[in-house]
Structure 1
């Protein structure tokens, strides 16, 4: 896991959006900036950046959803966060195009390549490169290993089995072949590999284990219909169920049976005892726990 949280990233994104609003004042007008950011310029100040970042409503900005998704894709790889190349590209383009200073000309730390949003964008591409067979830079390898770039450079200078070899002649950045990077990363304690099957998906397993409501479990089932069946519409026929029966499982109104739960878990390639036990638990909570029923 990174040394920062998703909320830290989204808080920084709010600050970047405020600076973008200030640059729109310079390039266009106050009215244009207000339409972009969603509220008036603060009284007694020329800068939107003087606003409390929490006032920025991230639901107005598509890039916020992409950072939310890509944080999990980069650092919590799971079938639930399988990659979308357009998201990877959008984050890189967004980071490349953000202002590099505030309206006073000061270069702020989160506008540099050490910023959290910048780090998530680079880690997202690094994960994508690992999955697609592309070569990686020392920074990208470091992000996947949850190490400093200096530690990766030390590995490049190390001889023997623990060392790492760069592609000869590459610099600014130094590049490492995909196979070499992957082999080296697999020996690093901080590396979290992309799961090859659902039973090895520790983040999905944790979500199932921590779920408390039938609705929440149903949302997980809904998300799994895509990678397992291609589209949800194909699922009922392949399960041998009516659309109404599967819909009950996805919206949390199902009548529990061990047989149905085991059949669904098997089709979704999940740990059957874990899923069956959790399905029974959340149905019992729905029936006997008023707070969970209301949820």
Structure 2
């Protein structure tokens, strides 16, 4: 295992210290490293809190700031943060208008965020992100996984909260965004968790995993490597069959790298996906391409499609200033 680390036991602490120092104008770290919070909080707004296991950077800490999250709670690599850490973040950012928890649909995250919400004294609501079409209720114990669509939910809700939307309306908006968003990914290689020291799973030199999860969970099938356009079409077949967008619908196309794929390949994938969506009569009105929701150094990518209406498009376009997303 070759990684730029000093000691396996201190990887996360040192990484968080570096992150907080590099972006000190935007965010600040809790003194006990329990959470990252927005430095210039807007008074009187609903606070948005998310989090989960580390190893998916820049998700979630990279999306703390104006127009997105008020706090992010990192757990150990691929491990949910504990309820006490989540509770500390809730209490730190609650400005009196309530707190909305944005939770990826994984058993540990769901359980720990629910416990923190129950312990909180203020008004707290939760929304689940479950955009991964690779799995369903019959094949995964808690239902669909939350993957790259989490970024879309955090961005749109963050903009709405910044504009003063209340907690109940934000919760309803989250349901709309989630219903309009689907994702699916492909892995070309595994990743290596530092504490494990070996790949999470094995892929042959000419094998890929279609529908892989962001922790290396199995997908729909394992098969031979294929041209990018063939892979894109298989991913979009599943996404479109589930999403069922109306002809002529406007959409956001988000191509996300898992950590080990160069941007040139991600843009090639975007081109193939854009062409396919155009053939389906869909209008790719908004785009995002880059490495945002990762699985350490896994090679591969995911596609996310969100159907947009005027309100969702305007909220996506609204200003955002975070360490990882800014316009």
The answer to whether TM tops 0.5 is no
- Write 1 or 2 for the structure with the bigger share of helix: 1
Question: Please, what TM-score do these two structures have when normalized by structure 1?
Answer: 0.29
- Write 1 or 2 for the structure with the bigger share of strand: 2
User: Relative CO higher for 1 or 2, CA cutoff 8 Å, sep ≥ 6?
Assistant: 2
Question: Please, what TM-score do these two structures have when normalized by structure 2?
Answer: 0.27
